[in-house]
Amino acid sequence: MGLSSKRVKGYVIGPGADLSGADLSGADLTEADLARANLRGADLTRADLWGAKLFGADLTRADLLGAKMSSADLSDAKLVSVFLTNANLTRADLTNANLTRADLTNANLMGADLTGANLADTVFSNTRMPDGSIKNPST
């Protein structure tokens, strides 16, 4: 393991890690460095990712139900078809992130940076947007 790597639930957590399909539900990944990691299809249900470095990470089809992602760096991350229902993304950096077909039902994006983010076919339902407004399917 490198200097910035650690073990969580038996998985090596660190930059560029291959965690595809990993069960990290409920894991404490506070401030973890997962830059450019492969998290495709991972179960991160209710995981604590506060301040985590996930820039350039691939989270395609990951389950982030109820995940705590405040202040996380998700810039340039691939979040295609991600399940973010009830996730807390306050002050998260989603600059240039790909959120195509992501489900943001009941998610909190207050203060998040969505500059350049791809939001094509993203599901918004009772979603708290960066400016504090609530976005629903018809708004």
Q: Where are the domains of the chain?
A: 11-139
- Beta strand residue intervals within the chain, DSSP E: 6-8, 11-13, 127-128, 134-135
10 — pLDDT class (breaks 50, 70, 90): confident
CATH number for the region 11-139 comes to 2.160.20.80
pLDDT tens digits, 75-112: 999 999 999 999 999 999 999 999 999 999 999 999 99
Whether 56 shows a pLDDT value over 90: the answer reads: yes
Mean pLDDT of the chain: 94
Q: What is the pLDDT of residue 97?
A: 98
**Euclidean distance between CA atoms 102 and 98, whole angstroms:** 9
Vertex 105 angle, CA 52 and 36, to 5°: 30
